[in-house]
Structure 1
Amino acid sequence: MPQEITTLLTFFGGTGDLAKRKLYPSVYNLYKKGFLKEHFAIVGTSRADLTAAEFSDMVRESINHVVEDEDNAKEFISHFRYIKLDVGDEAGYQEMLKLNNELDAQYELKGNRIFYMSVAPRFFGTIAGYLKSEGLTTENGEFNRLMIEKPFGVSYETAEQLNNQLHEVFEEDQIFRIDHYLGKEMVQNISSVRFGNPLFDAAWNKDYIQNVQVTLSEVLGVEERAGYYDDAGALRDMIQNHTMQIVAWLAMEKPASFTDKDIRAAKNVAFNSLHIYTPEEVKKNFVRGQYGENIDGTQVKYLDEDGVPEGSQNDTFVAGRLKFRSARWDGVPFYIRTGKRLKSKQTRVDVVFKKGISIFGDDIELENPVLSILIDPKGGIEFRINAKDTTSDFKTRVDTMKWQVSYLDMERTPEPYERMIHDAMNGDGSNFADWNGVGISWKFVDAIQDAWDSEHAEFPNYISGTMGPKASDDLLAEDGNHWIYK
């Protein structure tokens, strides 16, 4: 039986695209499953002029695809309220405080409050300051928590400034920095595969692993996001957050227990051992790219996309080699890559184990066993092993054991935002980024970006529909390795 959660959840940016596509359906799924019952309320805020009925209609439309019982949906929506708010206007927070107190009494919410910021990052600090100064954070509740969408800063300096602003109001364990990749089912499977199987747990180190690869490839180009993307690029948009958070699950030490405190501590041991590159080291260890036309010319190059400045040096592809200065990973490269307009949409982890020494004769060479965790678009696990070939002579061949997430499992699996909202309600920070990891990721990325900003690159340097520039393959070849996913 699900345990009911008592809380008031406020969505800043409550009429935005994210709220309608992801947040309201996720909360409704929690309601259908019994995690929310009677003692909850939800407040949506934005600058839009909406009546209570118009807001209710908007919420009802946003959850339409997951509604199975009309009366159930109607009761759920009765817990919603809307308030027009200019987040920079101090007076508006007093109206919100009055509404919050009324809802607290009506639904017996015990002063428990969660504030979800789905607004432009420049407003995060402003909102947090007013939450404190205008009394919206409670003293008598069991919890006050803050959920924040990415990006968390655009550099280490801006991230640190934002973090300091938030810490004036909230403690670190009250801040839940969202990275929706951490809510994906197969990302969460990394820990169960690694720590739940002694075979992998014992071999998860430099003695048995040759290299680790993380790929986040996209088929789409910049589309209509040039205004944002040309400032961010693949490095800031995908490496600093999603990729580094996945790497943390792979590189972390074994936690003392599977609690958020110990998990974060184990991740931070890995983060703290990450080597930050000098400009010369960036040249040796990182590759940047920008897509050109595809072979038949039906897709334009990045420089010809709407809104892209002439001569832009923005990266749409990044590949690199990470080094951890730790006893566990000394000498083991972690290869990462992400990019737009690549051959296929694919998010995956490939753990390449060392070759065994063949006892079968000089003419038989064994291959590297590979454990692959497939995250998107279809979840699954593959384990490539050496086995006997079915011939009269004794030879070996590579066979792959495969498991794929079933359609039934897919239907049962919570969406990432549903899982993250539920975790935040329970105070579980396991699948959220903490400041130490975010800060080190920014220092790492800033060092790369600074090196790139000091030199002009010749773009475009890869054809749309491929897996990026040749230099990405050369990077691994230098170590005698190759990308598992081609």
Structure 2
Amino acid sequence: MITSNTPRADNPLRSDDDSRLNRIAGPSALVIFGVTGDLSRKKLMPAVYDLANRGLLPPGFALVGFARRDWADEDFEKVVHEAVQEHSRTPFNEDVWAQLRRGIRFVQGEFDDPQAFERLRSTLDELDRERGTMGNHAFYLSIPPRSFPEVTQRLRESGLAEARDGSWSRVVIEKPFGSNLQSARDLNDVVESVFPPDAVFRIDHYLGKETVQNILALRFANQMYEPIWNAQYVDHVQITMAEDIGVGGRAGYYDGIGAARDVIQNHLLQLLALTAMEKPYSFNAADLRLEKEAVLAGVRLPKDLATATARGQYTGGWQGGEQVVGFLDEDGMNPESITETYAAMRLEINTPRWHGVPFYLRAGKRLGRRVTEIAVVFKRPEDSLFALSQTSDLGQNALVIRVQPDEGVTIRFGSKVPGPVMQVRDVTMDFGYGHAFTEASPEAYERLILDVLLGDPPLFPRHEEVELSWKILDPIEEYWESEGKPEPYRPGTWGPKSADDLLARDGRTWRRP
């Protein structure tokens, strides 16, 4: 049953949805290009099963794989079954699987083969008749970006991109959305020449995470935070995405991309936009995008990029009790590569709410631990009643949103130490999803695939957001390319010295999560 999302007049952010009712996708088929890849096997196919297991897909739902493998439908069915058994979040249910498997099909072909797309069209026509998918087709491009133009053009030539007789046809694109502003514009031009803008869904899986969506709930469903969410009270904001692994088997992809293009341009700038945006009129796609775009348009780069940015490459050494190789020694890596595995930058947002508040973004591999978080650090009280000796162990108040792992929120504040004297030090209050809710959080791809099938796009960036992000990053990338090699840093540390210097110049330090 699909419930109304029309906001109530007295509160635009309030909805008439009954939280006990789920939004179930209508008749539809999902076609996955690149179905033999890791993303499909580990995330997409398990997410489809989990949606079916939760009762969120229609009984006649169809899943179609497209790849060059010489498989029959039964071969692909086995692949899906193995992926579900190994990676699904919900328990395996034979009845759910029996229903899902009846709609599984496979089409063999190359991306440049028009006959393969004719076979795909025939398969979808057959599913429309036999499974009642009613011409509603979503095409998931889990393929390298260089193949996007060819596949979308083939979809147009075969007539699959055109919605017919009240049905819909949508395309889903995985990041990266280009490698700079011009390539992003070229890609958008190609895709939107085939599909209308409201039928193009750009997947940023971070936006499907419960804790990312909780940023909106934390800010706008609570009275206590929003009044102090501004330059009068906030000293600075730190947004961190740290990984404790190296590039491993992704060396070929990662060389020439780097940490900034890989995750800052999309994930971290989206987190910045959600953290800094003004209250939207409603939660519909147009209103959310309007506020996020206003933030990204207001981002300003410091004039001196040498002192406002840092980049590094991890070397070989010991991490977690084992010897690991350096970035330049990874299999398939160019030993002369100047690609960064660590990137940090200082940004400011030229809006009344955030004027003068620095936003520090950092992302890297082979760091101290795996963590993604947003830390809003508040200013110290202007007039303190306490002597310096009484607050020597007291830091700045902070609200930390943990995106992964251990999803939740931590608040750091000062409290009196038990005893006869007045001594104040930091304490924390923790909220964890795993402790507060009995139901496990859905995987991000469950939410995002369901949104595609429902045609509900609030969590998907439009091309305007993508281009604004590249406008922020392109000058930094151009400066780095002119500077030569990044600074080395040891595995298991928190990045190069230049990153610490970046904050030290402002009298601040990075958090150690």
Bin for the TM-score computed over the shorter chain: over 0.9
Q: Deviations over 1:240-296 (max 9, x none)?
A: 11111111111212111122221111101101111246xx52212100111123368
Code of the aligned partner of 1:83: V
For the pair 1:403 / 2:427, whether they are aligned, the reply is: no
For the pair 1:291 / 2:314, whether they are aligned, the reply is: yes
TM-score (norm 2): 0.90
Q: Deviations over 1:198-246 (max 9, x none)?
A: 1111211111111110111111112122211111111111211111111
| Equivalent residue runs for 1:215-294 within 5 Å | 215-276=240-301, 281-294=304-317
Q: Which range moves more in the overlay, 119-128 or 58-67?
A: 58-67
Decide whether aligned partners of structure 1 residues 410 and 86 sit closer, same or farther in structure 2, where only a CA change above 3 A counts.
Answer: farther
Matched with 2:15 is none
% identical equivalent positions: 38
Matched residues in 2 for 1:472 and 1:16: separation? 35
Matched with 1:61 is 82
Matched residues in 1 for 2:361 and 2:228: separation? 21
Matched with 1:470 is 497
Matched with 1:133 is 157
Matched residues in 2 for 1:198 and 1:408: separation? 20
Matched residues in 2 for 1:394 and 1:407: separation? 33
Code of the aligned partner of 1:427: G
Matched residues in 2 for 1:300 and 1:12: separation? 34
Matched with 2:127 is 103
Q: Deviations over 1:407-440 (max 9, x none)?
A: 6848521111111101111222222222111111
For the pair 1:169 / 2:175, whether they are aligned, the reply is: no
Matched with 2:342 is 317
For the pair 1:337 / 2:362, whether they are aligned, the reply is: yes
For the pair 1:50 / 2:77, whether they are aligned, the reply is: no
Code of the aligned partner of 1:131: L
Code of the aligned partner of 2:502: L
Matched with 1:483 is 510
Matched residues in 2 for 1:154 and 1:79: separation? 37
2:353 to 328, 339, 348: 328
Code of the aligned partner of 1:483: W
For the pair 1:189 / 2:214, whether they are aligned, the reply is: yes
Matched residues in 2 for 1:301 and 1:127: separation? 37
Matched with 2:34 is 13
2:421 to 381, 393, 399: 393
TM-score (norm 1): 0.95
- Does the 8 Å CA contact 1:276/1:443 hold for their aligned counterparts? no
1:38 to 48, 53, 59: 59
1:178 to 203, 208, 224: 203
Code of the aligned partner of 1:468: G
Q: Deviations over 1:101-150 (max 9, x none)?
A: 22112222232221111111111122212222221132223432211111
Q: CA deviation at 1:395?
A: 3.0
Q: Deviations over 1:82-117 (max 9, x none)?
A: 111212122222222222122112222232221111
Which consecutive residues of structure 1, in runs of 5 or more, have no partner in the other structure? none
Number of paired residues? 483
Which secondary structure state, in structure 2, belongs to the residue aligned with residue 398 of structure 1? strand
For the pair 1:430 / 2:458, whether they are aligned, the reply is: yes
2:48 to 12, 15, 27: 27
1:412 to 440, 453, 473: 440
Q: Which range moves more in the overlay, 357-366 or 410-419?
A: 357-366
- Does the 8 Å CA contact 1:2/1:33 hold for their aligned counterparts? no
Code of the aligned partner of 1:22: K
Which consecutive residues of structure 2, in runs of 5 or more, have no partner in the other structure? 1-20
Matched with 1:112 is 136
